[in-house]
């Protein structure tokens, strides 16, 4: 088998999306935009074969992989082929991150005694938060009473002063300016050292936004950008993915307002929303749980013993 490593670029969007559509993938890593944003952080490359595509990433300076894209019936075949690559090319045992539940179930069903050879465990810090889209648009019901109060407080305080706008390449300078201000005005605990890489990924989007399928929206107060969000959409599953969301924390209600308006304006057909993981950050976990997810999309770590 011939392996050709390729970098993730705007020009590879179609190829990655084609392989990702081989079966329904609900995790954020199934979206090209997520892979593109974090390609610099993980030094991501990928290898495409006839029936599957897999990634090579750096985690703690170790070359690893993440769940491949393939058909459900090809899960065990893809997995064993990737094992062969690790053994024959990298000369090391396999370490795989971010496998979803369907992938793990496929391995357990198809490979006898796999748990004797591999450690398979849930990775809670990487679970994605899944929400019902209409509830986040309307904030209706007792569960969202506090969120709606915060939004109403924002609408009252900034009445006549705010505006939602769909954004594009022409807004790059002001989004970068806001993001820089957002970083310097707040203290961030980042045990994975991912904030700067996220910024790099965002800048890469703006440098290539004519070629990348994404949606961007922002809230202006007094004609100044004070919040923005970047997302993507999977029409096959009717999932909206919120990859980036930043807001001025000094404006009460602005976070739930940009959350609500971005979905309403940019993803009116979405049935579900994936707001990605919390990376084990206590404050982020509390915030994502407060929006009442309908479930957590589990992800698994797999390591050859």
User: CA 148 to CA 13: how far, in whole Å?
Assistant: 37
Confidence check: pLDDT of 182 > 80: yes
| Cα–Cα nearest to 98, from 73, 117, 126 | 126
Confidence class for position 2, pLDDT limits 50, 70, 90:
low
Q: How far apart are the first and last CA of the chain?
A: 25
- Are 6 and 35 in contact by the 8 Å Cβ rule? The answer is no
Q: Which residue has the higher pLDDT, 210 or 72?
A: 72
- Are 111 and 75 in contact by the 8 Å Cβ rule? The answer is no
| Number of other residues whose CB lies within 10 A of the CB of residue 130 | 17
Its sign, for the CA torsion 85, 277, 43, 239, is: positive
The pTM for the full model equals 0.94
Residues 6+ apart with CB under 8 A from 103: 67, 75, 300
Instruction: Tell me the pairing of strands 69-70 and 272-274.
Output: unpaired
Domain 128-276: give its CATH code. 3.40.630.30
pLDDT digits (tens, 9 = 90+) for 19-29: 999 999 999 99
Domain 6-127 has CATH 3.40.630.30: yes
| Cα–Cα nearest to 273, from 169, 138, 99, 121 | 138
From residue 229, give the alpha-carbon distance in Å to each of 74, 177, 193, 206, 243: 36, 14, 21, 13, 8
Q: Which residue has the higher pLDDT, 63 or 169?
A: 63
Confidence check: pLDDT of 190 > 60: no
| Number of other residues whose CB lies within 10 A of the CB of residue 115 | 11
pLDDT digits (tens, 9 = 90+) for 84-124: 999 999 999 999 999 999 999 999 999 999 999 999 999 99
Q: What is the DSSP letter of 76?
A: H
Number of residues that this document lists for the chain: 305
| Span 145-156, average pLDDT | 97
Q: What is the DSSP letter of 235?
A: T
Mean pLDDT over all residues of the chain?
Answer: 94
Residues of the chain with CATH 3.40.630.30: 6-127, 128-276
SS3 category, 124: helix
Alpha helices in 22-118 (DSSP H): 32-42, 75-85, 101-110, 114-117
Q: What value does the CA radius of gyration of the chain take, rounded to a whole number of Å?
A: 20
Confidence check: pLDDT of 158 > 90: yes
pLDDT of amino acid 3: 76
User: CA 279 to CA 123: how far, in whole Å?
Assistant: 10
Confidence check: pLDDT of 33 > 70: yes
| Number of other residues whose CB lies within 10 A of the CB of residue 295 | 12
pLDDT digits (tens, 9 = 90+) for 207-264: 888 889 999 999 999 999 999 999 999 999 999 999 999 999 999 999 999 999 999 9
């Amino acid at each position: 088998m011939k392996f050709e490593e390729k970098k993730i670029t705007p020009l590879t969007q179609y190829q990655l999306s084609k392989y990702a559509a081989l079966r329904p993938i609900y995790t954020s890593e199934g979206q090209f935009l997520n892979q593109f944003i974090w390609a610099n952080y993980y030094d991501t490359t990928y290898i495409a074969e006839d029936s599957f595509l897999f990634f090579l990433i750096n985690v703690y300076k170790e070359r690893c992989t993440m769940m491949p894209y393939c058909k459900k019936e090809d899960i065990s075949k893809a997995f064993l082929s990737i094992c062969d690559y690790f053994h024959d090319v990298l000369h090391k045992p396999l370490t795989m991150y971010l496998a979803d539940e369907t992938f793990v179930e496929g391995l357990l069903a198809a490979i006898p005694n796999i748990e004797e050879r591999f450690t398979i465990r849930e990775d809670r810090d990487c679970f994605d938060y899944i929400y019902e889209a209409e509830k986040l648009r309307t904030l209706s019901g007792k569960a969202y009473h506090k969120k709606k109060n915060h939004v109403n407080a924002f609408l009252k305080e900034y009445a006549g002063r705010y505006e939602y706008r769909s954004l594009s390449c022409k807004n790059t300078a002001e989004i970068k300016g806001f993001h820089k201000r957002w970083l310097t005005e707040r203290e961030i605990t980042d045990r994975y050292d991912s904030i700067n890489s996220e910024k790099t990924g965002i800048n890469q989007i703006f440098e290539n936004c004519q070629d990348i399928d994404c949606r961007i929206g922002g809230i202006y107060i007094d004609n100044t950008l004070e919040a923005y969000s970047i997302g993507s959409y999977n029409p096959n599953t009717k999932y909206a993915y919120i990859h980036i969301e930043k807001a001025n924390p000094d404006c009460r209600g602005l976070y739930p307002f940009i959350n609500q308006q971005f979905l309403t304006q940019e993803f009116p057909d979405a049935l579900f929303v994936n707001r990605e993981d919390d990376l084990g950050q206590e404050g982020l976990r509390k915030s994502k749980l407060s929006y009442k997810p309908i479930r957590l999309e589990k992800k698994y770590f797999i390591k050859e013993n």
